[in-house]
Structure 1
Amino acid sequence: MHPLHTCLLFHLLAYLGQNADGSEIINGELAPENSMLYMASVQDNKGHHVCGGFLIREDFVLTAAHCDDGITHVVLGTHDLKSVNDDNKISIETHYHKSLVGSGNDIMLLKLSKKVSLNGRVQTIPLPTSGMNQQDDCQVAGWGYIKTGGPAVDDLRVVDVSIINLEDCKEQWSHLGDLPANVICAGGDETGKGFCQGDSGGPLVCNGKAVGVVSFNNNYICKYPDLPNVYTDVSKYLPWINDILQGYK
């Protein structure tokens, strides 16, 4: 699929990631089995992992808008995508975009066909109540490639990342064009840590809250990224999220 097939901004199109068939958490490690129980694998009708996502209520998963390409269900309750069965596959009833992806609002809500049971394998993650603190300790996680263009992995991987000052991030990206509004920058740049294509839609987790949604990096450059990774800032969309959730009591 092409996660930026409609592009976030036309003058960035030639530079942003273009293929989300795999993912790569750069310089990360296997996520412990009892951690990140909110993680979702967003999949197509062939059972292929397309994007990440995260459970914010028993019947809603949050992910990136550019992941809307043939997706049919989510997988919850496992870090190992080889162990998927009918018990942890939940079909997608409908989905909601904030607006066209081209406007920069790279965020999507997936309404599940049923409420899932919260237990020792599946939990929700809280959303932020306000903006970011640059000193927050953060992580990003996903499934997929272990190196750019390499073999995929089935086990969830996670890496620590640091928040990058937004003005500094905009300056670093400025030679390619303006960044979309409502974003957070974390990882990438010279840190050697971050995400790659296919981790799209997964959460940037800071102090136990999902503050960002994996959106894009720079043109496949993952192993040694030269620009900061970019996430959608969840705090900027809380009224929109809450309005939709309140429609499904």
Structure 2
Amino acid sequence: MALCTFLLLLAISLAVTGGMDSGIIGGKEAKLHSRPYMASIQINKHHTCGGMLIREDYVLTAGHCLNRSVYSGRGHFEVLLGAHNISKHEKSQQRIQVKKYIRHPMFQRNNNDKDYSYDIMLLKLKNKAKLNKFVKVLSLPKKNGKLPANVKCSVAGWGLKKPNAKLPSDVLREVSLKLQFDFECKYMWQQHFNPERMICSVSDGKHAFCQGDSGGPLICNTKPQAIVSYTFEGNCTNKQYPQVFLKISYFLPWIKKNMR
């Protein structure tokens, strides 16, 4: 019994540490500019994560989206707004440099210890975005409400369309997901899942998020409820391990404090 528990914890640890980037599997291409709050976060013109515009000068995303081993401060850290096809120069696009990133201090307390229940980051933009029909601010939830299981939500992003693909999707894609019970998430992810700060969904084996689009919003009933955080490494459509999101409502005081 002890050996089985150890092997389960080892598998969970390997899955979490290696599978933190996420994108879209299955689903469909999003309707043109139907999600004007979506941001493509890019380093040296390469898409790394998704995010959401929550004020003209702030984008909200996941804390692990800034990999310090890749970004040393010398590269171009930008967000691309108003985009549908990120491989083209669309007239609707606005490319804005990131002036400062504010990652939650509890996410990484040292180089080796990361707490993904604090996987959240704000990006302060160098210039304010110009709001129009292609670029809009997404209003955050006003209070910490409980989301019941089995509610259908959606995720969008430019992530991989297949787990083994090498490049992200050129066009924005979206997928519907169903929320899972907290106790099932806790049972499988154990100490890596905190029900106070996290919620989860489960794949049906065909639809999921995967490598390339962490940081994007989980939309439930037209409202952003969470941030895409992590999934099982190597098999995004794994039915056994629920996919995990960070609750936005829990972090509202931290968000408001750092945007003042």
Interval of TM-score (by shorter of Structure 1 and Structure 2)? 0.7 to 0.9
Question: Distance between the aligned counterparts of 1:10 and 1:182, measured in 2?
Answer: 23
Alignment correspondent of 1:65: 63
Any residues of structure 2 matched to 1:82-93 within 5 Å, and which?
82-84=87-89, 88-93=94-99
Alignment correspondent of 1:5: none
In the superposition, relative to structure 1, how do residues 161 and 17 fare at CA in structure 2: closer, same or farther (>3 Å)?
farther
In the superposition, relative to structure 1, how do residues 85 and 155 fare at CA in structure 2: closer, same or farther (>3 Å)?
closer
Maintained 8 Å contact 1:40/1:53: yes
1:95 and 2:109 correspond: no
Gap runs ≥5 in structure 1: 1-8
- What is the number of equivalent residue pairs in this alignment? 233
Question: Distance between the aligned counterparts of 2:179 and 2:231, measured in 1?
Answer: 15
Question: Distance between the aligned counterparts of 2:101 and 2:250, measured in 1?
Answer: 19
Alignment correspondent of 2:250: 236
1:78 and 2:89 correspond: no
Sequence identity, in percent? 37
Q: Secondary structure at the match of 1:90?
A: strand
In the superposition, relative to structure 1, how do residues 24 and 107 fare at CA in structure 2: closer, same or farther (>3 Å)?
closer
* Structure 1 residue 12 displacement after superposition: 4.3
Q: Secondary structure at the match of 1:13?
A: helix
Alignment correspondent of 1:164: 180
Alignment correspondent of 2:153: 138
One-letter identity of the residue aligned with 2:94: N
Alignment correspondent of 2:26: 27
Maintained 8 Å contact 1:17/1:197: no
Maintained 8 Å contact 2:83/2:90: no
Alignment correspondent of 1:210: 224
TM-score (norm 2): 0.81
* Structure 1 residue 53 displacement after superposition: 0.5
TM-score (norm 1): 0.85
Larger radius of gyration: 2
Alignment correspondent of 1:42: 41
Question: Distance between the aligned counterparts of 1:67 and 1:191, measured in 2?
Answer: 25
Alignment correspondent of 1:6: none
Maintained 8 Å contact 2:19/2:231: no
One-letter identity of the residue aligned with 1:149: N
One-letter identity of the residue aligned with 1:30: E
